[in-house]
Amino acid sequence: MLLVETTNLTKRYGPRAVVDHVGLQVRRGEVYGFLGPNGAGKTTTLRLLLGLVRPSSGTARVLGAAPGAPAALARIGMLVEAPAFYPYLSGRDNLRVFARYASVPDAKVEEVLETVDLADRAKDRASSYSLGMKQRLGVAAALLKNPELLIVDEPTNGLDPAGMAEMRAMLRRLGTGGHTVLLSSHLLGEVQQVCDRVGVINEGKLLRQGTVDELRGHGGLRVAAEPLHQARRVAERLFGAERVRVHDGTLRLDVDDAQAPRINHELVCAGVAVRSMGWHQPSLEDLFFELTTRRNGGPS
């Protein structure tokens, strides 16, 4: 079942489309990674889903309702960009204020403070918190409503390595605990570690969406040979042009690794010097850079 579904969702500021015909699909119970470089349109998309920003065109359904509908908002927890608090209030009072807005009993405040391990510092002013503590308080605020859907934007920004690991573990726990998590990040490792499915966005367009394995593909043979153009001709004759491409000065062959001896033999027979040959499984990072640099006019 889809908890978030957008169709051609678009947001324009003047002539510029910040979010451009995005079709996002987040399924119940998964941790969905929304991956893209800074300025790709991730935060604006999340704001659209929360009803903070209105779309220029297209539609979105979040928990079966239009973005910003009170019935849906009551089941969503969010941490978009930096956590926001009243600096003159304590951590506990900040949560009490949010709990009142959300019509959540005060008892829940103590529960979420324990969850994020802030109970000891709850009486201190939020302005005195470290960045990591503020981030955890933000997560506590997002958990107040025991949300079905948790929308978090760059949750590890500014955290030290220990804080990052803790935050990722917490998100993973939430994902396996019946919550659905929509996580936006520009950190590839974070997404790969935490997420079940991933959407890659750049320049406002959702370029690819699927599981990490689906996006990475099944891999192929990488052959470093000279002269490259002659090696390419041989490979195309053997497997067809559609299964051969050149990337970073090497041949990428979309074939099974059992084909390695055959291609090696044919290349050598054709007078091509084979420098190396090996199985190549693209990482999410490879895919990310391939998708984003291609759109940015970089090499393909």
Partner 1 sequence: MIASFHAELLKLARRPATWLIAGVWMTLSLMFGYVFPYFSYRGTPTGPSTGADLGERVLSEALPAALVPAAIQGFPLFAGALALLLGVLTTGGEYGWDTMKVLLTLGPRRLSVLAGKLLALTLVMLLVVLATFVLDSAASLLVASVTGNPVAWPPIGPLITGVAGGWLVVAMWCLAGAFLGILVRGTALGVGIGLVWALAVENLLRIFGSIVAVVDVVQRVLPGTNAGALAAALGVPVQGQPGGTPGVTDVVGGRSAALALVAYLAIFVAASAALISRRDIA
Residue 140 beta carbon to partner 1: minimum distance, rounded to whole angstroms = 12
Contact between 279 and partner 1 per CB under 8 A: no
Asked if 39 is part of the footprint of partner 1 (rule: CB under 8 A), the reply reads: no
- The CB-of-11 to partner 1 minimum distance in angstroms stands at 9
Phi, psi of 234 (to 5 degrees): -65, -45
CB of 111 to partner 1, least distance (A): 17
Among 40, 73, 174, 267, the residue binding partner 1 under the rule CB under 8 A is 73
Does position 133 bind partner 1 by CB under 8 A?
no
Nearer to partner 1, 121 or 145 (CB): 145
Of 3, 4, 33, 47, which lies in the binding site for partner 1, with binding defined by CB under 8 A?
47
Question: Which residue, 33 or 138, is less far from partner 1 as judged by CB?
Answer: 138
Judged by beta carbon, residue 26 or residue 76, the one nearer partner 1 is 76
224 binds partner 1 (CB under 8 A): no
Question: Given the rule CB under 8 A, which residues bind partner 1?
Answer: 44, 47, 50-54, 68, 70, 73-74, 76, 78, 80-82, 84-89, 93, 96-98, 100-103, 141, 145
